[in-house]
Amino acid sequence: MSEMLRYLPAFHDVRGASVLVVGAGTVGTRKIEALLAGGARITVVAKVFSAVVEERAAHGDLMVLRGAFHPDQMEGAEFIFAATPDRTLNRRISAEARRRRIPVNVADSPEECTFLLPAVVREEEFTVAISTGGRHPGAAKALREFLEEYRAEISVRLERGRRRKRIAARPGKVYIVGAGPGDPDLLTVRALGLLRSADVVIYDYLVPQEILSLASGKAAKICYARRGRTAGHGAVLKQNAIHEAMVRLAREGKSVVRLKSGDPLVFGRGGEEAEHLSRKEIPFEIVPGITAALGCAAAAAIPLTHRERSSSVTFVAGHETDEKGKSAVDWGLLPKDGTLAIYMGVGRVAAIADDLTAAGFSPDTAFAIVENGSRPEQRVVRGILSDLSRIALNSGIRSPAILFVGRTAAALPYESTEERSDESVAQGV
């Protein structure tokens, strides 16, 4: 390859340039079309012209010189393309062009070129030029096709980036933000933008490290709640400490993100926090997140509603109230023809199964437990209500896990292999 080899990043660089193309067969025609699209002024030398080029010539889009190539035709050309089927002729054109210091490109012969044309993907915001130095045109083509296929996704990402940049957490304000079930990709654009720009992040223990790491490196990160039991006096203290911290930091002029797992208003005490902030006249905003029921249902392909199998979905808290022994839920009132999504219930699945059965749920109603939904360590265990406590115990299900009950919780008829192995967990116990 020539030392003076240059790349033309894109054809729009040839706008208005005088270009000589020798050869008007398949290859020549392709180059001519691209050059015309780039706005070049073209002269074509050839003995035989393709129909397309003939038509272009008839339209006055280009000039044609019929007959054999002669070096004098190079006069005034700014770029030369040799695209004849005759290799010797191509080599001669290249030599003549180089002698005149006119950049030359010879089709399929990088060593005769002083510039190459990369494959180009052109979008509104960017132009990507792909080149393999002429050695692997197939690879360049594959890469271009790949980029073209993902064009929509790239645009979405660009748009997301633009939106995110516009989002900035304001000083003196508290943002009560839902972080979703755990997969960082399930954050909203707004949540991510606020997280990146906040001075302080007060987070729940359920929010995974991958999400926290998206916060600005300069942000203070505070976790008040600890993993474990949240009922009783300890939880009240913790909650008060969070309330006080939010108010204090906002009054200091900090932008505060109060980051909660799932959605802040679903079993998340977001309501209490908002009430407290409003009482203290601190400006706040609530940013929704994907609640565990939605994230886990999607992850386990559980249709929460279904035209034939469920016409309602109910989010239920599975834990007890502080008054010992009394469930917070009136199980008898729950619809039996819908889907139940029971949060915080893994610790008392046996009691829940009893409550449901006593409330009239059939013992063969399907259930699914999704543990660590949307996270890499996600597990799904299925069965029927009468086996719930045994299966949950034997598979060692731990928090965070959500329990779905209803006909929709059964595996889909076209279950994936992943779910088959889940079921073998359930059957093997």
The smaller minimum CB distance to ligand SAH, of residues 8 and 257, is found at 257
Burial of 90 (0-12, 13-18, 19+ CB in 10 A): buried
Beta carbon of residue 105, minimum distance to ligand SAH (angstroms, whole number):
56
State the first-to-last Cα distance of the chain, in angstroms, to the nearest integer.
Answer: 68
Residues of span 377-396 touching ligand SAH by CB under 6 A:
none
Rank residues 64 and 296 by Cβ distance to ligand SAH and give the closer one: 296
Residues 338-367 that bind ligand SAH (CB under 6 A): 343-344
| The one among 173, 190, 260, 276 contacting ligand SAH by CB under 6 A | 260
Which of residues 106 and 402 has its CB atom nearest to ligand SAH in the complex?
402
Does residue 187 touch ligand SAH according to CB under 6 A? no
Burial 229-254 (b: 16+ CB within 10 A, else e): ebeeeeeeeebeebbebbbebbeeeb
In 10 A of CB 273, how many CB atoms? Answer: 22
- With beta carbons less than 8 A apart as the criterion, state whether 357 and 367 touch: no
Confirm if 171 and 228 have CB atoms less than 8 A apart: no
Separation CA 242–CA 222 (nearest Å): 10
Q: What ranges make up the beta strands (E) of 30-88?
A: 41-49, 63-66, 79-82
Residue 76 or 376 with smaller CB distance to ligand SAH: 376
Query: Between residues 14 and 402, which has the closer beta carbon with respect to ligand SAH?
Result: 402
Q: Residue 23 in 3-state DSSP?
A: strand
CB neighbours (10 Å) of residue 308?
A: 8
Dihedral sign for Cα 90, 94, 96, 97, please: positive
SS3 63: strand
Question: Of 114-122, 235-243, 266-274, 352-360, which segment contacts ligand SAH by CB under 6 A?
Answer: 266-274
Contact indicator for 81, 58 with CB cutoff of 8 Å: no
Element (H, E) at 380: strand 379-384
Task: Please report how close the Cβ of residue 153 comes to ligand SAH at its closest, in angstroms.
Answer: 25
Q: How far is the CB of 212 from ligand SAH (least distance, A)?
A: 15
Q: Is 268 an interacting residue with respect to ligand SAH (CB under 6 A)?
A: yes
Based on the shown chain and the rule CB under 6 A, indicate whether residue 400 belongs to the binding site for ligand SAH: yes
Beta strands in 97-192 (DSSP E): 104-106, 115-116, 119-122, 127-130, 174-178
Residues 6+ apart with CB under 8 A from 399: 344, 346, 347
Tell me how far, at minimum, the Cβ of 349 lies from ligand SAH, in Å.
12
Among 267, 284, 367, 404, binds ligand SAH (CB under 6 A): 267
For the segment 204-223, give every residue that binds ligand SAH (CB under 6 A): 206
Closest approach of Cβ 124 to ligand SAH, in Å? 38
Q: Which is nearer to ligand SAH, 107 or 409 (CB)?
A: 409
Applying CB under 6 A, among 29, 374, 395, 408 the residue interacting with ligand SAH is 374
Among 181, 338, 383, 406, binds ligand SAH (CB under 6 A): 181
Smallest gap from residue 201 Cβ to ligand SAH (A): 16
Number of residues that bind ligand SAH (CB under 6 A): 24
Residue 347 backbone dihedrals phi, psi, to 5 degrees: -70, -20
Residue for token digits 């008040």?
A: 224
> Rounded to the nearest 10 degrees, what angle do helices 151-166 and 137-149 cross at?
50
- Using the rule CB under 6 A, which residue among 373, 387, 405, 422 binds ligand SAH? 373
Contacts of ligand SAH in 296-325 (CB under 6 A): 296
The stretch near ligand SAH (CB under 6 A) out of 15-23, 149-157, 195-203, 257-265 is 257-265
In whole angstroms, the minimum distance from the beta carbon of 128 to ligand SAH comes to 37
Q: Which residue is nearest to ligand SAH (CB)?
A: 262
Phi and psi torsions of 201, nearest 5°: -120, 120
Query: Minimum distance from CB of 258 to ligand SAH (Å)?
Result: 12
Q: Could you list the residues that contact ligand SAH (CB under 6 A)? A: 181-182, 206, 260-263, 266-268, 291-292, 296, 343-344, 370, 372-375, 399-402
